[in-house]
Each structure stands twice: as structure tokens, then as C-alpha cells.
Amino acid sequence: MQTMSALSGPQIRHAEFVRLTLPSATYTFCNAAQAITVSGITFSGLGAFLQLSDVQRDIKSTSDDISVSLTGIDPSKIAIILGAEIKGSLLEIWRGFLDSNNQIITSPSLQFFKRYKGIVSSASINEKFDEQVRERVATCLVSAASIRRILENRMAGIKTNPSSWQRFYPNDTSMNRVPVIANTFFDFGKEPQTGSVSNSGYNSTGAGANEGQGKGWGGN
């Protein structure tokens, strides 16, 4: 557990810091009024142009999502945003506590704490006409799913058909008889019989050929 010593001060100044890691580039920005450098990383100050949705705070890990909104984007840059591979990128959010010079507090320890880590699930662009400045204003909304939700939706395991199994274990033939067994009828409940039992006496509906004689699937 990390101690936030900045919370015990008479004045509490804080800012949210975001790092968006795309395959082609990494973008860092914050909602402070000016750029702030933390551990060699410079976060551009976007001020009120950056908005974050509420971060759910629980003692145990939760699978909540978060939204990041960037307003005041130049309409000529929309094509760059749409062309970037935002979906599937890594989104990280920190909260940093500032001193009187609007810099991160470093004493007695660095007051910079991670709040969220997730994967971008969707991104959208909204435009509206600002009558005061007489120009279009674009807003980029990025939604991210937490790592916990990604793990919850992850498909795990291996299929037991030969093609899927041998994709991971090329020399293993233990699943080669699965298609044969899958199409074999097993008369569960009856006394074991010597030799093999053919299922040719069953029609396409699964009913037994001697059903009219009072015998079902596994009874006498």
C-alpha cells in the first residue's frame, strides 16, 4: 500500500495523467494547465480539454470501464485520429499531486500513483459548430475496458478435435479418434455385451428400431 502524504497538507492540488500507447506512437497528456515532466516523461498540458469519467474505487479489483474525452481538436487532424490504430491500444492513467509550482511532489516520496490500466475498446469522433468562435470543434471519445474485463472475456482452452490439437502438439495423435467416438452410439445403462454394437438400428430421429416393442435408449 502506498502512502499519499500529499493528502495531509493544507492544500491539495492534483492532476490526471494519461498515456496512450499505440503501435506507431505513444501519447502522453494531462489535464494540468501546462506540461509536466514525471520521471523523464513529459505530459502535455491540455487543461479543460481533457475529461475523464469516474474511476470506480473498490477494495477488490473490479472490471469497470473508463472514458477519455479530448475536445478542441483541429478538424484538419480528424483524419489522423481515424487513421491511427487506437482500438486495442494500452491506456494508463495516473493521479499526481502538485506543489505550489504545479510540479509533482517528490518529498518524502514521489506523489504519483497509477489509477487505471486498460485496453481501448472503441473510439469515436463528434463534431459541432461553435457559434462563438465561428468554427467546427471536434471531440474524440475513447473508451477503455479494464484488464480484468479482458481476462473475463478471454477464450481459454484447446478444442479436442485433431486439427486444433495438433496445431499446438503436431506429433501427438491422442485426439485422432475423437471424430470416430463422437459418431458412436453408447447404450448407457445396459449390461455390457461382448463385441461391438452397431447403431445402424437407429433412425435419423434417434429413436430405436425396436422402440415399438417397449425398449428405449438404455432400458430393457
Whether 196 shows a pLDDT value over 60: the answer reads no
Percentage of the residues of the chain whose pLDDT score is greater than 70? 76
C-alpha cell at 16: 490526471
Q: What is the mean pLDDT of residues 43-48?
A: 88
Report the b/e string of 119-156 with b at 16+ CB within 10 A.
Answer: ebbebeeeeeeeeeeeeebbbbbbbbbbeebeeeeeee
pLDDT at 16: 92
Angstrom CA distances, 3 to 12, 39, 114, stand at: 15, 19, 13
Is the pTM value of this prediction over 0.85? Answer: no
Each residue of 145-158: pLDDT tens digit? Answer: 887 777 766 666 77
Each residue of 47-97: pLDDT tens digit? Answer: 888 888 877 665 555 667 888 988 878 777 777 777 777 888 999 999 998
Beta bridge partners of 30: 17, 45
pLDDT at 92: 92
Mean pLDDT, all residues of the chain: 77
Whether 36 shows a pLDDT value over 80: the answer reads yes
Q: Which tops the pLDDT comparison, 153 or 163?
A: 163
pLDDT at 156: 67
Each residue of 88-142: pLDDT tens digit? Answer: 899 999 999 888 888 888 888 888 998 888 889 888 888 887 777 677 778 888 9
The Cα–Cα gap between 20 and 30 comes to: 11
pLDDT at 28: 93
- Residue 18 banded pLDDT, cuts 50, 70, 90: very high
* Residue ranges per structural domain of the chain: 9-152, 158-186
- Residue 219 banded pLDDT, cuts 50, 70, 90: very low
Tally Cβ neighbours within 10 Å of residue 15.
20
pLDDT at 57: 62
The Cα–Cα gap between 93 and 52 comes to: 10
- The values of phi and psi at residue 166, to 5°, are -75, -10
